Amino acid sequence: MASSEAPSMSADKRELRILLENGEYWLSNKGDLAILDITIRRIAQRWPSARIGVLTSRPSLLRAFEPDAEPVNYLPGGEWSKWNRLGRVPGFFGPTVAGPVLRVSVAAMTRIERLVRTAAAPVRAVKPSASESSTAKNPARVALSRDGGRLPNAVADASLVIAIGGGYLADVDKFQTMRTLDLLEYAVTHRIPAVMLGQGIGPIHDPDLIERAAAVLPKVDFIAVREDRRGPDLLRSLGVRSEHIVVTGDDAVELAYSTRRQELGTDIGVCLRVADYAPVGASVQDTVGRIVRGVAAETGAMLVPLIVSEHDSEDRRSTLPLLTGFPAVARPLGRFARARAVAREVGRCRIVVTGAYHVAVFALSQGIPVVALSTSSYYDDKFGGLGSMFGSGIDVVRLDREDVDDLLTRAMRNAWDTAHEARSVLLARAVEQIDASRLAFARAAELVERDATAPRETNHRRIEPPTFPK
């Protein structure tokens, strides 16, 4: 079992405010929610009285998933939330109950807001908004971003800014990459400790992104990356010093490992991702479905749909049709299931076939081999990096190959036949990554704790990070 961290109280001498940039403000991806869950638990364990702010566009849904966190809007004037009893209600019921209600109410409110904005447009052209008036009275409260937008006020009061793991620092999500870099730039410029944990970096070829990343990332206290094949070299090419780069693995590994079963499962898990950054044609989708059903029939396995991304229901729309007509299919989890529930569904499987990165993380972390489906360099890098961290247990199949039928069939059969012997190696690699991830968090915590013992006027000075343990 991975070693645990001893909580430190040295930073409790003043109120700590930890601001988390999670990269997915709609809270619709179970992989990102897994990372958020682990990070919040670590913060609460180390600093029980700390305030934990999470940038989000769904404040009530955040409360439902993470009652200990405070929603912060990435908007002009976005502040730390004020305590109120009504805001605690979603956390009491949890996401599976509160989520559907919130979804209906958000849709209704969105329609109302659109009507109000349309009606108020002529007035706003003359009269500033409340947040604009507040900024005019105290312009120092809001930091201008590179593109003339505005960062949330909450960053100015943060004791530590953490950009938690995700695959958003890449060409495929330029808007979010720029937004994250703006936030980090404000922090380092104002001597607020800033770190990045469990990050998937790249591919980045866009000249604007390269220029912006090279201007900001070398100033961050340190960057922990989730793989060792691409990220470290890319960061060094952007000017980040080697001593400020550490390889940890994905922070979601810990959540998945904690849900593992004592024995290997008997089912076949399936998730197909089809999106702009992961294109899969209709005929190829049909091929994947036919082969998955065929191997399941050979082995007598039940098929388990594994839904990670609920953005536009993309994983549901791509995955569930593959299983249609097969006699033994598990019921898919609901839209607002917790990340741990998805990880437990993965745990019932002997092998997993997936085009979604975090389904693969959930599987490998529980000692379950993966057949990974890719049609892009973005996913080649993601799955390749994951394979490097675990050393074995993942076979990447390109769906744009002419011989995909044979490749996928052989990969599934091989994964099924070798599942038992792969299990112990994969679990051992998971423990190594958990330990490295916890050490990276401890390193971030030390920045704050050293800061907290400094004289008040130097609380936000820049600190040279300590040497990271080997």
> 3-class DSSP state for residue 201?
strand
pLDDT at 105: 54
> Residue type at 98?
A
pLDDT at 93: 58
Give Cα 11 distance to the centre of its chain.
Answer: 26
Residue 263: exposure state from Cβ atoms within 10 A (0-12, 13-18, ≥19): exposed
Q: Among 239, 245, 192, which residue's Cα sits nearest to residue 222?
A: 245
pLDDT at 468: 36
pLDDT at 82: 76
User: Which residue(s) pair with 443 in the sheet?
Assistant: none
> Residue type at 234?
L
What CA–CA distance (Å, rounded) separates 316 from 336? 13
In degrees rounded to 5, what are phi and psi of residue 324?
A: -60, 130
Is residue 17 a contact partner of residue 53, using CB atoms and an 8 Å limit?
Answer: yes
What CA–CA distance (Å, rounded) separates 351 from 21? 33
pLDDT at 108: 52
What CA–CA distance (Å, rounded) separates 36 from 33? 5
Q: Which two tokens stand for residue 124?
A: 């706003």
> Residue type at 261?
R
pLDDT at 85: 53
pLDDT at 102: 64
Query: How many Cβ atoms sit within 10 Å of the Cβ of residue 328?
Result: 14
pLDDT at 83: 62
pLDDT at 132: 42
Is residue 355 a contact partner of residue 348, using CB atoms and an 8 Å limit?
Answer: no
What CA–CA distance (Å, rounded) separates 371 from 448? 41
For the chain, residues with pLDDT lower than 70 are 1-14, 83-93, 97-99, 101-149, 451-470
Is residue 29 a contact partner of residue 309, using CB atoms and an 8 Å limit?
Answer: yes
Question: CB under 8 Å to 433, separation ≥6 — which residues?
Answer: 248, 249, 250, 253, 389
> 3-class DSSP state for residue 178?
helix
